[in-house]
Amino acid sequence: MARFINLRELAQTTTGWHYQVRAPSNIALIKYWGKKAAQLPCNPSLSMTLAQAYTQSDFDVTRAQKEGELEFLLEGHKKSGFDSKALKLWQLICSKYPELLNYNIRIDTRNTFPHGAGIASSASGMAALALGLLALVGESDLKVISSFARLGSGSACRSLYPNFALWGQSEISAASSDDYACEYPEYHADFSQLRDAIVIVSGEEKSVSSSQGHDLMKTHPYGQRRFEVARQNLKTLSAALKSGDWNSFIEVVEREAFELHSLMMTGTPSYTLMTPATLDFIIRFRKWRDQAQVKAAFTLDAGPNIHVIHAASEAKRVQVWLETLIAEGFSARTLFDHMGAGAYIIAGGESL
């Protein structure tokens, strides 16, 4: 499996080719919530890259006789209207690499995870699109690819990297930048191969888009304070990751999830994305986790579903507890995922 192939050289010798891009989703432990112009974050964020939840985009490319055509498909079917984020990203990439207009490009996209599962499809989708288009012009610098992915969707810039990704300038890493994400390599062995059990309590569409949520932060009474607290939370998390301190990890990851939701609840307009089932789950989970001393923390995305981030050594205990909870009547579906290797390209492609 090639992590990167230089299609610019291939373009000189062939008239058409096929390649596949796989980009995973990610779950933020320190949340990006609030942005400035050009999709720059108001605070740094840190995420865990997933493995099983990914977007696969099949690229079929031929040289165009005149002006090239772009075609987006979803699971093999023509889309009636273009996804606005995808179209915007295509235009931005073309403005820097106009040679892309010399190709006919057909992109067929599918996700391995269901819609409404609490897994961000814009993160994996925009990362796949940026990686796939930039491969065509021979761009292999992950910083450049990440900064374009960011312009598609902020959280997408983190999806390119393995394990943990850091996006946004922070004193915890000299490599950090607001423009692009970087890998965050400094963590204790206890935090390697983390698992994520996703507890789907509702498959409904989100009632508020992330973009609306970010907008809310511009006038939010706690906005400026939140950006400071997020920086502090990141420092605490980074220290916990380095030293292998699970208690501190749990405290800060769970606080971040509640901060995100309380910002939504206290904004104007106000949104509640948690449901009674979300809180019911969290209360039961914390009680069991604290009693049984499990290395596990919950986090939430901008929705009602819960991610239980846990040590690889706890996978069996978490799975059995979740199965028992559901067997006893708690209504939910589960998806099990783990820390992944980031985005990559497969020359020729493979079927999913």
Does 28 sit near ligand DP6 (CB under 6 A)? yes
The token duo for 1 is 């499996």
Rounded CA separation 98/94 (Å)? 5
CB contact at 8 A, 202 and 22:
no
CB-nearer residue toward ligand DP6: 42 or 136: 42
Query: What stretch of H or E contains 250?
Result: helix 246-265
- Residues in region 244-273 near ligand DP6 by CB under 6 A: 260
76 and 40 in contact (C-beta within 8 Å)?
Answer: no
Shortest reach from residue 121's CB to ligand DP6, in Å: 9
- Answer for the pair 280, 268: CB distance below 8 angstroms, yes or no: no
Tell me how far, at minimum, the Cβ of 235 lies from ligand DP6, in Å: 17
Binding ligand DP6 by CB under 6 A: which of 20, 45, 56, 159? 45
Q: Which of 121, 155, 236, 278 binds ligand DP6 (CB under 6 A)?
A: 155
Binder of ligand DP6 out of 154, 168, 304, 349 (CB under 6 A): 154
User: Quick one: 62 or 212, whose CB is closer to ligand DP6?
Assistant: 212
- DSSP conformational letter for 205: P
* Binding flag, residue 120, ligand DP6 (CB under 6 A): yes
> Which residue, 153 or 305, has its beta carbon nearer to ligand DP6?
153
Interaction between residue 39 and ligand DP6 (CB under 6 A): yes
- AA letter at 328: E
176 lies in the site for ligand DP6, by CB under 6 A: no
Task: Choose the binding region for ligand DP6 from 69-77, 147-155, 191-199, 332-340 (rule: CB under 6 A).
Answer: 147-155
Report which secondary-structure segment, H or E, holds 108. Answer: strand 103-111
In whole angstroms, how close is the CB of 31 to ligand DP6 at the nearest point?
Answer: 4
Q: Is 157 in the site for ligand DP6 (CB under 6 A)?
A: no
If binding is defined by CB under 6 A, does position 32 make contact with ligand DP6? yes
Distance CA 60, CA 100 (A): 13
Cα separation, 139 vs 283, in Å, equals: 47
Q: Which residue has the tokens 């819609």?
A: 115
Name every residue whose Cβ is closer than 8 Å to that of residue 110 and which is 6 or more positions away in sequence: 55, 56, 74, 75, 76, 352
Number of residues that bind ligand DP6 (CB under 6 A): 17
Q: Which residues sit at the interface with ligand DP6, rule CB under 6 A? A: 28, 31-33, 39, 45, 120, 122, 153-155, 210-211, 214, 260, 301-302
